[in-house]
Amino acid sequence: MSENNKPDATRAAKLEPLRGVKGMNDSFAPESARWEWLEGQMRGLLAAYGYRNARTPIVEPTQLFVRGIGEVTDIVEKEMYTFTDKLNGDQLALRPEITAGLVRAVIEHNALYDGPLRLWSIGPVFRHERPQKGRYRQFHQLDVEAMGFAGPDIDAELILLTRALWKRLGLKEGEDIRLELNSLGEPAERAAHRAALIAYLEQHQALLDEDAKRRLYTNPLRVLDTKNPAMQAMVEGAPKLLDFLGEDSRAHLQAICTVLDAAGLAYTINPRLVRGLDYYNRTVFEWVTPHLGSQATVCGGGRYDGLIAQLGGKPAPAVGFGLGMERLLLLLEALGLNTADGAPDAYAVIPDATQLPRILPVLEALREQGVAVQMHAGGGSFKSQFKKADASGARYALVFGGDELARGEVALKPLREEGAAQVTRPLADVGGWAQELQNRRNA
């Protein structure tokens, strides 16, 4: 038989399976269940603080990020995924962060017309980096923004909000995660510091690596953020931006510190903390951990009072933060926290499929009562069904055997409590024992 006459299935079997893009990961349960659990914790907390969800596209005009993030940042120069729209020639980019897109949307829809906004968004962002643990080409951020607020009170609120999240997740403040704080001042203050910093770095050009030499005149502040051990001593002696702050900038930082002190939140003033995006001014902060090696920053943000005007909107102050979801999940895993696995409360074992008309209404009633029930489907022996019940992670097997059904009952067999006895419960009182299952689940 010629190659062209072979059955389609035979030809298809020779096709190589397609693989996902390097650095862009798939997720199934139980990992995906941990994502859902974490997102649920975040949503509940943000609602408690009065922040409301906003959703923006993952594709934006490339110029949005060039103008917003900064043309000489690593993100724009080396990491952004950009392409030309084949239909109309537009220059587009996969968003490398969320803030600029939210600001664009707020400007476009005149969303600040009725007053300040508290917003949050969760979604994927994209950077063409070398994939490694905790750093991927598609990763996910929680982005929280407060727009239209000028005072230090909202900066402090956002920092306290992040601390509240750590508490919800079981992280120990100061031990598992700690706060670093700095101020970048106002443009004139940064300009004076920039001139002094360039002069200092010019005196030490022999110590600068290629990255630092490239940034010397375009973005010297980022030189202070170097991870190169050979440059650390030189950088420590560089002029500090804190020494160039004016009265208002100092007062703004001090007001935040006063609130944090009153709230009992420990922090470190780190004069080398700068952040990787050009739009920040005044407050910048990071939450860092000792448990993830070089990927130490879990959450970072600060104030960006000039960005809304920079992107074409009416000038308005703003402050926010971004949190790396993958990195936070890695931290929780390293500490043995976040054990949510998405397993059902119960697995329905159905030896006789002809009884489904009696069984399915019971399962529906349980689900209406808030009990997660996975029904066995596809037949199989009693033994094989119990194996699948155990593999599902369910806490109980609901056994709808012939004898039980004849008595109008179902057997509840514990699967995770060693030595616990099987019991029976009446089908006519689903509400009663549904509550029993929920109580045991939450115990």
CA distance 194 to 179: 26
Q: Is 43 exposed, middle or buried (0-12, 13-18, 19+ CB in 10 A)?
A: middle
Neighbours of 365 (CB within 10 A): 15
| Tokens encoding 57 | 């596209």
Per-residue pLDDT of the chain in tens (443 residues, 90 and over written 9) = 555 555 555 555 678 898 988 988 888 888 888 999 999 999 999 999 999 999 999 999 999 998 888 776 777 878 899 999 999 999 999 999 999 999 999 999 999 999 999 999 999 999 998 887 778 899 999 999 999 999 999 999 999 999 999 999 999 999 999 999 999 998 889 889 989 999 999 999 888 998 888 888 888 888 887 888 889 999 889 998 899 999 999 999 999 999 999 999 999 999 888 776 667 889 999 999 999 887 789 999 999 999 999 999 999 999 999 999 999 999 999 999 877 888 899 999 998 888 899 999 999 999 999 999 999 998 888 899 999 999 998 989 999 999 999 999 999 999 888 878 889 999 988 888 888 777 665 55
What CA–CA distance (Å, rounded) separates 396 from 348?
9
User: Rg of the chain over CA atoms, in angstroms?
Assistant: 28
Strands (DSSP E) along 91-201, which ranges? Answer: 91-94, 117-126, 138-147, 178-183
Residue type, 35: W
Geometric angle at alpha carbon 168, from 164 and 169, rounded to 5°:
120
Per-residue pLDDT, 2: 54
Distance CA 320, CA 46 (A): 13
Q: Are strands 409-414 and 396-399 parallel, antiparallel or unpaired?
A: antiparallel
Answer whether 344's CB lies under 8 Å from 373's CB: yes
Strand order in the sheet with 396-399: 373-375, 346-349, 396-399, 409-414, 423-426
Six token digits for residue 390: 């155990």
Q: What is the pLDDT of residue 187?
A: 86
Q: What are the C-alpha distances in Å from 186 to residues 58, 141, 199, 303, 320?
A: 31, 27, 20, 11, 17
Are 125 and 13 spatial neighbours (Cβ–Cβ below 8 Å)?
Answer: no
Domains of the chain: 31-185+245-334 (3.30.930.10), 346-442 (3.40.50.800)
Angle at 127 between CA 282 and CA 287, to 5 degrees: 40
What are 391's two structure tokens? 């593999």
**Cβ 331 vs Cβ 293: under 8 Å:** no
pLDDT of residue 11: 55
d(CA 368, CA 373): 10
So what's the pLDDT on residue 72? 67
Q: Which runs of consecutive H residues, i.e. helices, occur in 217-344?
A: 232-236, 247-262, 307-310, 325-334
> 3-class SS at 61?
strand
To the nearest 10°, the Cα dihedral for 195, 243, 67, 201?
40
Residue-level pLDDT at 94: 95
How many C-beta atoms surround the C-beta of residue 113 within 10 A?
8
C-alpha 5/C-alpha 71 separation (Å) is 57
CB-based contacts of 395, cutoff 8 Å, min separation 6: 343, 345, 346, 414, 415, 416, 417, 437, 440, 441
Cβ pair 238, 197 in contact under 8 A: yes
Smallest CA-to-CA distance from 305 within 190, 406, 225, 404 is with 190
Residue 30: asked if its preceding bond is cis (omega within 30°), the reply is yes
